[in-house]
Amino acid sequence: MLTITGAPHAAMLGIGTYRASLVVPNDDLVDAIDSTDEWIQQRSGIKSRRFATPEETIQVMSVAASRQALENAGIDARQIDCVIVATVSHMMQTPAIATAIAFELGTDKAAAFDISAACAGFCHGVGLAADMVRSGSAGHVLVIGVERLSDITDGNDRGTAFIFSDGAGAVVVGPSETEGIGPVVWGSDGEQFDLIRQKEDWRDVIESHSPEMPNLVMQGAAVFRWASYEMAKIAHQTLDRAGITVDDLDVFVPHQANMRITDAMARAMKLPAHVRIARDVAEQGNASAASVPLALHRMILDGDAKSGDTALLIAFGAGLAYAAQVVIVP
Ligand SMILES: CC(C)(COP(=O)(O)OP(=O)(O)OC[C@H]1O[C@@H](n2cnc3c(N)ncnc32)[C@H](O)[C@@H]1OP(=O)(O)O)[C@@H](O)C(=O)NCCC(=O)NCCS
């Protein structure tokens, strides 16, 4: 008979983040897109965003966030058995950036791979990591969400220029005496594959007479409708699967896409007033795979979330892909 020797429970043991260093207020972007600070704030809730310098690479930001997460968890890099990097803006298709990050951190030949689930990537990674710990595939897993979306955003595109940003967030997932990560509820709607995507694939770029970066393009209004209505249902399913209700929540950390989507979801979910809501998008913009850990960590640092709180994470984006889980705050 085959045996499985995993931990009975998994939890987030530590968290770390790295915010790209350039603070870019709306006023710096509006001329190129014939917009105003007021319009952007009203439609998205974004006041400023973070852009990376050339030195702040995917690897540099990931390693910085990860070292913080390891220290926060009290875990040595050699205890990490697997590194999962969620990103859509690592420009080299192969090899995965995860192997370079695992090596730089000093892991002992940890398994390392990248996943592409856009803004939902981090929550996919946390779901995988928890199942790996519980099944015995890994003792500790480092999950990183990292993006340099400024590399693939057209500063002249009115629908995207003010939305996307750069940064990294990481958590250590490991064994725990009580359950700290509820079942992941995830899925996709490939019928809407075209709503957020790169303009063209790399082969088309190379074959073009005037090659340009295949920047992100988005049908904003359709994404807005889908996220506002469909994701509230997924949020409820996630609470049901974890065996709790909105009344048991302390913290709500939705993907930081747009403040109006966050508010629409909170209304549709009938979140009680005591539930504190992540609003990192105002100063960070949408950092895709890094958005949820950046938002959660800000809440911890600001005192809006504390260790032991019950939090609902939910993320959604290109694909369309989504993933959500209830977690205990590390
Ligand atoms: C991008 C977004 C803010 C645009 O807002 P919107 O209300 O849908 O805007 P629309 O494209 O319908 O345009 C509405 C009007 O604003 C104008 N407009 C569009 N972009 C503008 C800009 N950047 N500045 C000023 N005006 C703008 C349009 O020309 C249009 O004007 P009109 O009514 O005179 O024709 C909104 O669709 C959104 O946030 N979508 C979700 C995107 C998202 O979160 N994506 C990430 C998910 S992972």
Vertex 165: Cα angle to 160 and 171 (nearest 5): 135
Whether 120 contacts 288, CB under 8 Å: no
Distance (Å, whole) CA 260 – CA 19: 23
What is the atom index within ligand 1 of the atom nearest the CA of 316? Answer: 48
Pocket test for ligand 1, best of 122, 224, 280 (most atoms within 8 A of CB): 224
Where does the chain have alpha helices with state H?
30-33, 37-44, 58-73, 97-105, 121-135, 202-207, 220-242, 259-269, 281-284, 291-302
Task: Determine whether the shortest distance from the Cβ of 35 to ligand 1 is under 6 A.
Answer: yes
| pLDDT interval class at 209 (50, 70, 90) | confident
Tell me the two tokens of residue 289. 């795979």
Provide the pLDDT for residue 1.
85
Taking only the tens place, the pLDDT of each residue in 292-314 is 999 999 999 999 999 999 999 99
Phi and psi torsions of 78, nearest 5°: -70, -15
Provide the pLDDT for residue 203.
92
Phi and psi torsions of 284, nearest 5°: -110, -25
Distance (Å, whole) CA 166 – CA 151: 9
Asked whether the predicted pLDDT for residue 173 surpasses 90, the reply is yes
Taking only the tens place, the pLDDT of each residue in 180-206 is 999 999 999 999 999 999 999 999 999
Task: Determine whether the shortest distance from the Cβ of 44 to ligand 1 is under 6 A.
Answer: yes
What is the atom index within ligand 1 of the atom nearest the CA of 43? Answer: 3
List, by residue number, the catalytic residues: 119, 255, 286
Averaged over 6-32, what is the pLDDT?
Answer: 97
Whether 308 contacts 285, CB under 8 Å: no
Work out the mean pLDDT of the chain and round it to a whole number.
Answer: 96
What is the atom index within ligand 1 of the atom nearest the CA of 159? Answer: 1
4 CA to middle of ligand 1, Å?
51
Provide the pLDDT for residue 249.
98
Provide the pLDDT for residue 210.
85
Taking only the tens place, the pLDDT of each residue in 272-292 is 999 999 999 999 999 999 999
220 CA to middle of ligand 1, Å?
6
33 CA to middle of ligand 1, Å?
11
Task: Determine whether the shortest distance from the Cβ of 197 to ligand 1 is under 6 A.
Answer: no
Q: Which residue's CA lies nearest to atom 13 of ligand 1?
A: 221
Averaged over 251-256, what is the pLDDT?
Answer: 98
224 CA to middle of ligand 1, Å?
10
Q: Classify 69 as helix, strand or coil.
A: helix
Averaged over 75-102, what is the pLDDT?
Answer: 97
Dihedral angle of Cα 300, 305, 311, 316, to the nearest 10 degrees: -50
Provide the pLDDT for residue 227.
92
Phi and psi torsions of 297, nearest 5°: -65, -40
Provide the pLDDT for residue 280.
98
Q: Which residue's CA lies nearest to atom 6 of ligand 1?
A: 221
Beta bridge partners of 185: 324
Taking only the tens place, the pLDDT of each residue in 31-85 is 999 999 999 999 999 999 999 999 999 999 999 999 999 999 999 999 999 999 9
pTM for this predicted structure: 0.96
Percent of the chain with pLDDT over 70: 100
Task: Determine whether the shortest distance from the Cβ of 159 to ligand 1 is under 6 A.
Answer: yes
> Whose CA is closest to 146, among 320, 314, 292?
292
| pLDDT interval class at 3 (50, 70, 90) | confident
Q: Is the dihedral of CA 193, 233, 124, 56 positive or negative?
A: positive
Task: Determine whether the shortest distance from the Cβ of 223 to ligand 1 is under 6 A.
Answer: yes
Axis-axis angle for helices 37-44, 259-269 (nearest 10): 20
Asked whether the predicted pLDDT for residue 179 surpasses 90, the reply is yes
Q: Which residue's CA lies nearest to atom 38 of ligand 1?
A: 220
What is the atom index within ligand 1 of the atom nearest the CA of 318? Answer: 48
323 CA to middle of ligand 1, Å?
25
Distance of CA 192 to the CA centre of its chain: 20
Taking only the tens place, the pLDDT of each residue in 261-270 is 999 999 999 9
HSE-CB of 188 using CA atoms within 13 angstroms = 16
Pocket test for ligand 1, best of 34, 41, 43, 162 (most atoms within 8 A of CB): 43
Provide the pLDDT for residue 322.
98
